[in-house]
C-alpha cells in the first residue's frame, strides 16, 4: 500500500495504518509500530514472543533472531541451522571487541580461544572450564577500599577454603587461624590469624611427623624454644677431618698411617664434637719430644675441652687413657695413668710403638670454639 504526500513540504498529514493490530506508521514518518498504533520508538514491536529475524540469502536456512521471550531478551545466532559455525560479534570503532563463538565461549579482544592468545576468555562448557586472562603486563587487579580484610575468597562446593586479604597494608593468605602475613617493610613473613586479622604467636606448626618438608636452606640462624640469645642456633655442620699424632717440641722423622685412620665431626653452634680412629704403620720418632698430641682438629678452640678414649692398643709404653684440650688451638694433649688409681701424666712421643698396626685409638673429643 502507498500513500500520497498531503503537505507542501512532502510530509504526511495523517498516520498510515495497515490493519490496526499489525502495522502503523505515525504522521511524523519517524515511528513504526508493529502490533500497536502508538509506537514509542522508531521501531516498536509488541506481541507475544515478539521477534526480529535477520535472514541470510547467501546461506539457505541461516537466520538470526532477537526475541522477547517471557520477559527475557533472547538473541539467537545461526538459529535454525545447527550445521553452521558462525559467531556472535560485538564491534566498536569498526574493530571487533568481543565475541561469543559457536562453542559458547565469551572472548574479549581476542578472536580465537586458547591461553596463548592475548585477551579475556570465559570458557565454560557443561560443568567444567575456566576463566583465562592473557596479557604482557599485570593480568588482574582486585582492589579493596577503605578497610582491611578479605580481597579474594576461595571456595569449594560453595564453602570457603581460604582467602587472600590485607592487614595494615600487607598481603595475607590462609584460612581461619592458619595464615601468613607478608611484611615487606620488615622483610618478615609472620604467622597470621585470618579470622582476627592479626599476627599469631606459637600456634602454627610447619610440617608434621607424617608430612614433612625436605631441605631447609638458611643464610642466618634459627631460634629454638625461645627468642633469647641462648636460643639462637647460628651454625650446624657435619664433615670429616684427618687426625694425626704430634709433639709439643721437635718433629717426627716420619709417620705412616694405616688406611683405617679416619674421623668425622658435628658442629652445633659453638660446640664441636669429633670422633674417629687412628692407627700407624710405621713411626720414626726423630726429634719429637715434649708431650704427645692428637692434631688436625677441624676448628680452633676457645675454651677447654676433653678427649675420651674408648680403645687403645699396641703402644710402646703408657697407653693413653684420655686427654685435654687447651684453649686457642687445634690439638689435644694425650695423657695416661700409670695404674688404675695413679696420677695422670702427659704421654710422650716415645710412648708410640714404631711397628706396623701400632698406636691404635678409638676416641671422641668435645670442645667449644
User: Would the pTM count as exceeding 0.85?
Assistant: no
Judged by average pLDDT, the poorest of 87-96, 238-247, 340-349 is 87-96
pLDDT (tens digit, 9 = 90+) per residue, 175-211?
999 999 999 999 999 999 999 999 999 999 999 999 9
Mean pLDDT, range 58-77, rounded to an integer: 79
State the SS3 of the chain: CCCCCCCCCCCCCCCEEECCCCEEECCCCCCEEECCCCCCCCEEECCCCCEEEEECCCCCCCEEEEEEECCEEEEEEEECCCCCCCCEEEEECCEEEEEECCCCCEEECCCCCCCCCCEEEEEEECCEEEEEEECCCCCCCCCCCCCCEEEEEEEECCEEEEEEEEECCEEEEEECCEEEEEECCCCEEEEEECCCCEECCCCCCCCCCCCCCCCCCCCCCEECCCCCHHHEECCEEEEEECCEEEEEECCCCEEEECCCCEEEEEEECCEEEEEEEEEEEEEECCCCEEEEEEECCCCCCCCCEEEEEEEEECCCCCCCCEEEECCCCCCEEEEEECCCCCCEEECCHHHCCCCCCEEEEEEEEEEEC
Confidence label for 2 from pLDDT (cuts 50, 70 and 90):
very low
pLDDT (tens digit, 9 = 90+) per residue, 156-180?
999 999 999 999 999 999 999 999 9
Judged by average pLDDT, the poorest of 41-50, 209-218, 249-258, 296-305 is 41-50
Q: Domain ranges in the chain?
A: 87-134, 149-199, 236-368
Amino acid at each position: 500500500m502507498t500513500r500520497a504526500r498531503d503537505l507542501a513540504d512532502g510530509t504526511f498529514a495523517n498516520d498510515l495504518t495497515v490493519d490496526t493490530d499489525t502495522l502503523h506508521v505515525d504522521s511524523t514518518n519517524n515511528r513504526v509500530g508493529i502490533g500497536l498504533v502508538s509506537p514509542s520508538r522508531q521501531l516498536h514491536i509488541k506481541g507475544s514472543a515478539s521477534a526480529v529475524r535477520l535472514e541470510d540469502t547467501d546461506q539457505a536456512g541461516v537466520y538470526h533472531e532477537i526475541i522477547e521471550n517471557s520477559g527475557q531478551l533472547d538473541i539467537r545466532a545461526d538459529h535454525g541451522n545447527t550445521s553452521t559455525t558462525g559467531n556472535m560479534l560485538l564491534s566498536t570503532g569498526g574493530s571487533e571487541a568481543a565475541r561469543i563463538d559457536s562453542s559458547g565461549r565469551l572472548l574479549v579482544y581476542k578472536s580465537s580461544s586458547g591461553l596463548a592468545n592475548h585477551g579475556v576468555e570465559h570458557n565454560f562448557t557443561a560443568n567444567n572450564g575456566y576463566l583465562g586472562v592473557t596479557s604482557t603486563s599485570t593480568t588482574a587487579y582486585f582492589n579493596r577500599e577503605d578497610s582491611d580484610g578479605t580481597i579474594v575468597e576461595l571456595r569449594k562446593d560453595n564453602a570457603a577454603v581460604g582467602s587472600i586479604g590485607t592487614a595494615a597494608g600487607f598481603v595475607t593468605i590462609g584460612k581461619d587461624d592458619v595464615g601468613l602475613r607478608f611484611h615487606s617493610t620488615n622483610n618478615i613473613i609472620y604467622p597470621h590469624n585470618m579470622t582476627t586479622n592479626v599476627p599469631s604467636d606459637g600456634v602454627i606448626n610447619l610440617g608434621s611427623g607424617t608430612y614433612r618438608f625436605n631441605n631447609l636452606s638458611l643464610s642466618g640462624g634459627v631460634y629454638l624454644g625461645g627468642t633469647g640469645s641462648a636460643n639462637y642456633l647460628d651454625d650446624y655442620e657435619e664433615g670429616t677431618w684427618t687426625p694425626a699424632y704430634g709433639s709439643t717440641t721437635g718433629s717426627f722423622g716420619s709417620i705412616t698411617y694405616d688406611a683405617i685412620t679416619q674421623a668425622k665431626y658435628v658442629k652445633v653452634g659453638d660446640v664441636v664434637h669429633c670422633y674417629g680412629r687412628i692407627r700407624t704403620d710405621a713411626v720414626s720418632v726423630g726429634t719429637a719430644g715434649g708431650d704427645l698430641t692428637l692434631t688436625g682438629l677441624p676448628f680452633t678452640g676457645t675454651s677447654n675441652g676433653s678427649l675420651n678414649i674408648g680403645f687403645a692398643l699396641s703402644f710402646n709404653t703408657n697407653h693413653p687413657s684420655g686427654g685435654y684440650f687447651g684453649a686457642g688451638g687445634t690439638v689435644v694433649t694425650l695423657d695416661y695413668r700409670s695404674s688404675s688409681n695413679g696420677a695422670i701424666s702427659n704421654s710422650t712421643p716415645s710412648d708410640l710403638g714404631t711397628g706396623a698396626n701400632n698406636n691404635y685409638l678409638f676416641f671422641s673429643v668435645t670442645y667449644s670454639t
